[in-house]
Chain A
């Protein structure tokens, strides 16, 4: 079942990174006069963004079924960060609908502002979720008296959150710029810049994790860490080659996707089996709640059901992406 949850997490994160990047670049591309390209990308985005949401929901429901006490605890204290993200998701989805279906119907100015709403909400949605991820690194802001609650302002000063959020946004931009470099070579240079910035942000994030030795040591010892380093180096080299020779964009794109997936896996796996990495900051009675090795005993036996549905649906999702990306693929061939 761990495989399932990791698949769901990785697909969610990869698709969300793509979504953030597309949301930011599409309205800007259109504004710059690249109407055909931006419309092809928007058509792709409008028909596939739901998949990102599905895998996010899958991840949440998996946690609910397998670790219900953890969800109960988080639900009782984390209203503010989750509410911020959820309200923005609703607005983001609405802006996608208005932007896509209003393509030739709004005035250019109105359409641009709808697009900007799509871009801004996409960038802000991870704010709440990454704040929760920061909390899962170290529970800064958790107050137990007079009842368990979250001091939101304190939680927002969590150094791991402050480093993780900009890193996530930069990684999204790197991904989309790398993908688009195969269509417009100038994106490769942008991708190199944002990749370099992501590496700096990554180092800052790693620095903040030193204060959580359990996670930091697991991370730097993990093969995923070294795989990520290799993939990032390859991506950089492939982009540089592409800028000079026009070759290497496929390798760069593959590396960009792998880099995002490996980074998220590394972040998740390096604190296993704890949902909150800095267990030293928790009272003893809470250790059972955050220990992910103790799952809901009633969930045993779900494997066959899970795979029986998941495999055909993953195949169907791939077919959907293949069918929808046809104009995008032909555009690449032309370029």
Chain B
């Protein structure tokens, strides 16, 4: 299916641009503080002033971009509220905890990132390192909270997969006795619902996503029971004017209470690989950016500090890329194959049999044929191309880095040059493509198995020209920021 054919194309693109600009910048805040703190520790150990200078330059780098990244985060947050208010409402009702905790993560980031840079000479050395570690924790804590919500949107806690003929996917729900009493269980079972057991106060069921998404849609659009899909399962006609939202609220609150108000998103089966992959991406992008900076600087000025910085960043790139490719990337792939079967199928759509065989062997699961997926569950096949473009670029990036490391560390050659600028750009493109596969591949869902894109979307979308203007505006802001970093940091004589 064509990506543009899903609802709200313009607003999806606008969200993509806004979030991507935020992500391009924030990856540097995930990785550069770690690199700066390690450099500072090396300075404390060796008292080699070059390490101190490297630490300060890296800190200046992430402080410069942090503000605009945070502002773009605010833009992304309001973008969610304004373009996808119904998603925001549901998230606020049921999976608010990580978003709430993110307030404090963000506060940690702001306080300690700025303290690390602006109060450098005002704090004792070891306290300063501690401040740096707190800045890293703040940034990673923030990423973890946001990624837990995103992981829930990819594979919500309680999602069950199985044969489409048996009405899968299904969502585990805790239905209070008061609601069970007015439902026709036989009809619901015929529609695919499974009764899994009882809990103190109600019944645990596995509800087909087809029903869940229709109920969520009815609730959001303010329908009453007699206007809803639920009406054919209700036995008490006096409830005709009860709002569907009140029924949904009762069931979801019970479900969230039993799954854990503060833990529900962290129980998503794709949570851990998602967090590792996001942080890994930040480390890779940061390392390549620092490597390009020092390579460029060493070529222009030939200083020892730049040469040392280059070697340090190159080694960091190699290690982080290996982690990203062989550990977090692999785990992410396995999680997608296991929990996002339709996405996995769309990724493989049109692949040669040998490639499909390799992918399924690596993932350890069989893929379903794209044509076997019911039409209403099919993701866009565009992600096939995006995924393989990503893999190709990542492999090229990895091989090039190994060659650079060989020439630098084994052959002791100086490989500095402007061509190194390609590395962070490719790393950013790979990161973007991976994220695009993740998000575009979730369609037609906004929350897999729970809420579709149309239901999440605002009832008052902006006109297309506004979407274009705002998208161009975000890209322009990013371009000016990149120019600023180039002018004030990359060309900085004393860095």
Q: Do A and B bind each other?
A: yes
Binding site for B on A (CB under 8 A): 43, 46-51, 53-54, 56-58, 60-62, 64-65, 67-69, 71-79, 82-83, 86-87, 89-94, 96-98, 101-102, 105, 147-150, 296-299, 301-302, 305, 309-310, 313, 316-317, 319-320, 323-324, 326
- Interface hits, B91-123 → A, CB 8 Å: 91-94, 96-97, 99-104, 106-108, 110-115, 117-119, 122-123
Identify B85's interface contact among A46, A71, A309, A323, CB under 8 A.
A71
Check B481–A72 contact: CB distance below 8 A. no
B467 to chain A, nearest CB (A): 11
A84 to chain B, nearest CB (A): 11
B83 to chain A, nearest CB (A): 8
Instruction: Report the separation of the CA atoms of residues A102 and B492 in the bound assembly, to the nearest whole angstrom.
Output: 11
Known: A61-B100, A91-B477. A76 touches B459 (CB 8 A): yes
Check A53–B108 contact: CB distance below 8 A. no
In this complex, the member of A60, A101, A301 whose beta carbon has the largest number of chain B beta carbons within 10 angstroms is: A101
Check A147–B460 contact: CB distance below 8 A. yes
Check A75–B85 contact: CB distance below 8 A. yes
- Residues of B within 8 Å of A65, CB to CB, are 92, 96-97, 99-100
Beyond the given A71-B89, A90-B477, please list 9 additional residue pairs across the A-B interface where CB-CB is below 8 A: A58-B106, A61-B77, A75-B81, A87-B75, A89-B75, A94-B67, A305-B101, A313-B111, A323-B118
Q: Any chain A CB within 8 A of the CB of B394?
A: no
Check B68–A94 contact: CB distance below 8 A. yes
Instruction: Report the separation of the CA atoms of residues A89 and B71 in the bound assembly, to the nearest whole angstrom.
Output: 7
Identify A320's interface contact among B81, B92, B114, CB under 8 A.
B114
Q: Any chain A CB within 8 A of the CB of B427?
A: no
Identify A68's interface contact among B83, B92, B480, B484, CB under 8 A.
B92
Binding site for A on B (CB under 8 A): 64-68, 70-72, 74-75, 77-79, 81-86, 88-94, 96-97, 99-104, 106-108, 110-115, 117-119, 122-123, 253, 256-257, 261-262, 458-460, 462, 466, 470, 473-474, 477, 480-481, 484, 487-489
Instruction: Report the separation of the CA atoms of residues A256 and B345 in the bound assembly, to the nearest whole angstrom.
Output: 63
Check B71–A79 contact: CB distance below 8 A. no
Known: A57-B106, A323-B115, A323-B119. A90 touches B474 (CB 8 A): yes
Considering the complex of A and B, which 3 residue pairs feature the smallest CB-CB distances, nearest first? A75-B85, A68-B92, A72-B89
B63 to chain A, nearest CB (A): 9
- By beta carbon, the residue of chain B nearest A81 is B82
- Residues of A within 8 Å of B100, CB to CB, are 61-62, 65, 302
Instruction: Report the separation of the CA atoms of residues A91 and B473 in the bound assembly, to the nearest whole angstrom.
Output: 9
Check A58–B119 contact: CB distance below 8 A. no
- Residues of B within 8 Å of A77, CB to CB, are 460
Check B103–A298 contact: CB distance below 8 A. no
Instruction: Report the separation of the CA atoms of residues A319 and B111 in the bound assembly, to the nearest whole angstrom.
Output: 9
Check A54–B107 contact: CB distance below 8 A. yes
- By beta carbon, the residue of chain A nearest B483 is A98
Check B68–A97 contact: CB distance below 8 A. yes
Number of inter-chain CB pairs below 8 Å: 201
- Residues of A within 8 Å of B480, CB to CB, are 94, 98
In this complex, the member of A62, A64, A92, A149 whose beta carbon has the largest number of chain B beta carbons within 10 angstroms is: A64
Instruction: Report the separation of the CA atoms of residues A315 and B83 in the bound assembly, to the nearest whole angstrom.
Output: 36
Check A83–B470 contact: CB distance below 8 A. yes
Instruction: Report the separation of the CA atoms of residues A67 and B92 in the bound assembly, to the nearest whole angstrom.
Output: 8
Identify A299's interface contact among B70, B96, B111, CB under 8 A.
B96
Instruction: Report the separation of the CA atoms of residues A75 and B89 in the bound assembly, to the nearest whole angstrom.
Output: 9
Identify B460's interface contact among A61, A76, A105, A313, CB under 8 A.
A76
Check A102–B487 contact: CB distance below 8 A. yes
A/B interface sample: 20 pairs, CB < 8 A: A47-B114, A53-B74, A57-B106, A58-B103, A68-B92, A74-B81, A83-B470, A89-B71, A92-B71, A93-B71, A94-B67, A94-B480, A105-B488, A297-B253, A298-B261, A313-B108, A316-B108, A320-B115, A323-B119, A324-B118
Check A61–B114 contact: CB distance below 8 A. no
Instruction: Report the separation of the CA atoms of residues A302 and B477 in the bound assembly, to the nearest whole angstrom.
Output: 37
- Residues of B within 8 Å of A324, CB to CB, are 114, 118-119
- Residues of B within 8 Å of A317, CB to CB, are 107, 111
Check B70–A68 contact: CB distance below 8 A. no
Check A147–B459 contact: CB distance below 8 A. yes
- By beta carbon, the residue of chain B nearest A319 is B115
Instruction: Report the separation of the CA atoms of residues A83 and B83 in the bound assembly, to the nearest whole angstrom.
Output: 11
Instruction: Report the separation of the CA atoms of residues A8 and B193 in the bound assembly, to the nearest whole angstrom.
Output: 45
- Residues of B within 8 Å of A56, CB to CB, are 74
- Residues of B within 8 Å of A79, CB to CB, are 82-83, 458, 460, 462
- Residues of A within 8 Å of B104, CB to CB, are 309-310, 313
B274 to chain A, nearest CB (A): 21
Known: A57-B77, A309-B104. A78 touches B82 (CB 8 A): yes
- Residues of B within 8 Å of A149, CB to CB, are 459-460
Check B64–A97 contact: CB distance below 8 A. yes
Known: A77-B460, A94-B480, A98-B484. A71 touches B470 (CB 8 A): no
Instruction: Report the separation of the CA atoms of residues A91 and B74 in the bound assembly, to the nearest whole angstrom.
Output: 12
- By beta carbon, the residue of chain A nearest B105 is A309
- Residues of A within 8 Å of B88, CB to CB, are 64, 68, 71-72, 75
Instruction: Report the separation of the CA atoms of residues A46 and B261 in the bound assembly, to the nearest whole angstrom.
Output: 38
Instruction: Report the separation of the CA atoms of residues A316 and B123 in the bound assembly, to the nearest whole angstrom.
Output: 13
- Residues of B within 8 Å of A96, CB to CB, are 67
Instruction: Report the separation of the CA atoms of residues A75 and B91 in the bound assembly, to the nearest whole angstrom.
Output: 13
Known: A72-B88, A323-B118. A50 touches B96 (CB 8 A): no
Instruction: Report the separation of the CA atoms of residues A76 and B113 in the bound assembly, to the nearest whole angstrom.
Output: 35
- Residues of B within 8 Å of A320, CB to CB, are 111, 114-115, 118-119
A85 to chain B, nearest CB (A): 8
- Residues of B within 8 Å of A92, CB to CB, are 71
- Residues of B within 8 Å of A91, CB to CB, are 477
In this complex, the member of B67, B118, B119, B487 whose beta carbon has the largest number of chain A beta carbons within 10 angstroms is: B67
- By beta carbon, the residue of chain B nearest A297 is B253
Check A68–B96 contact: CB distance below 8 A. yes
- By beta carbon, the residue of chain A nearest B79 is A86
- Residues of A within 8 Å of B66, CB to CB, are 50
Instruction: Report the separation of the CA atoms of residues A121 and B444 in the bound assembly, to the nearest whole angstrom.
Output: 38
Check A313–B107 contact: CB distance below 8 A. yes
Check A298–B118 contact: CB distance below 8 A. no
- Residues of B within 8 Å of A62, CB to CB, are 100, 103
Identify A102's interface contact among B111, B118, B488, CB under 8 A.
B488
Known: A75-B458, A298-B261, A299-B96. A83 touches B107 (CB 8 A): no
Identify A97's interface contact among B256, B257, B474, B481, CB under 8 A.
B481
A315 to chain B, nearest CB (A): 10
In this complex, the member of B81, B118, B474 whose beta carbon has the largest number of chain A beta carbons within 10 angstroms is: B81
Instruction: Report the separation of the CA atoms of residues A284 and B75 in the bound assembly, to the nearest whole angstrom.
Output: 33
Instruction: Report the separation of the CA atoms of residues A320 and B107 in the bound assembly, to the nearest whole angstrom.
Output: 12
Check A93–B460 contact: CB distance below 8 A. no
Check A53–B71 contact: CB distance below 8 A. yes
Check A90–B72 contact: CB distance below 8 A. yes
Identify B473's interface contact among A64, A87, A305, A319, CB under 8 A.
A87
Known: A76-B459, A79-B462, A320-B119. A90 touches B488 (CB 8 A): no
Check A101–B96 contact: CB distance below 8 A. no
B480 to chain A, nearest CB (A): 6
- Residues of A within 8 Å of B122, CB to CB, are 323, 326
Check A298–B110 contact: CB distance below 8 A. no
- Residues of A within 8 Å of B106, CB to CB, are 54, 57-58
- Residues of B within 8 Å of A101, CB to CB, are 64, 484, 488-489
